């Protein structure tokens, strides 16, 4: 099953932020294209980030001060906008990771209950 992360404000928006922060924490500085690819690989091809959601999200997270960006040359000598996790971003990742785990545990606990007949 493939899930497309949509920028539906009430559902998975926060999840996308979490994934972006995690990606930058894990692999270091990265441009948008790289982030899309990493999330796809790391999720074992289960999660596909829509570009239409990613870039507005990146710009919004940058506004929040959790990541910073600059134009850099890539390994293939292209000019690209590269994002980097800030100290505030690292703390935010910590918080979001914890709350996500709690939610996931909670949801799992609920789903474990048997259905009425």
Query: Footprint of other proteins on this chain (CB under 8 A)?
Result: 31-33, 50-52, 55-57, 59-60, 62-63, 76, 78-81
Work out how close the CB of 28 gets to other proteins at its nearest, in angstroms, rounded to a whole number: 18
Cα separation of 27 and 43, whole Å? Answer: 14
Cα separation of 47 and 108, whole Å? Answer: 19
Work out how close the CB of 78 gets to other proteins at its nearest, in angstroms, rounded to a whole number: 6
Using CB atoms within 10 A of its CB, is residue 69 exposed (0-12), middle (13-18) or buried (19+)? middle
Comparison of 35 and 93: residue with beta carbon closer to other proteins: 35
Work out how close the CB of 95 gets to other proteins at its nearest, in angstroms, rounded to a whole number: 21
Work out how close the CB of 114 gets to other proteins at its nearest, in angstroms, rounded to a whole number: 41
Do 18 and 68 meet the contact criterion of CB atoms below 8 Å apart? no
Using CB atoms within 10 A of its CB, is residue 2 exposed (0-12), middle (13-18) or buried (19+)? exposed
Comparison of 30 and 93: residue with beta carbon closer to other proteins: 30
Residue 86: helix, strand or coil by DSSP? coil
């Amino acid at each position: 099953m493939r899930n497309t992360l949509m920028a539906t404000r009430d559902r998975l928006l926060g999840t996308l932020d979490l994934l972006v922060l995690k990606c930058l924490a894990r692999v270091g500085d990265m441009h948008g294209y790289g982030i899309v690819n990493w999330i796809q690989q790391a999720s074992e091809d289960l999660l596909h980030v829509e570009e239409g959601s990613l870039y507005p999200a990146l710009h919004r997270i940058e506004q929040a001060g959790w990541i910073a960006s600059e134009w850099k040359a890539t390994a293939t000598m292209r000019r690209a906008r590269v994002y980097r996790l800030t100290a505030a971003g690292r703390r935010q990742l910590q918080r979001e990771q914890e709350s996500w785990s709690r939610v996931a545990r909670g949801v799992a606990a609920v789903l474990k209950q048997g259905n009425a007949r």
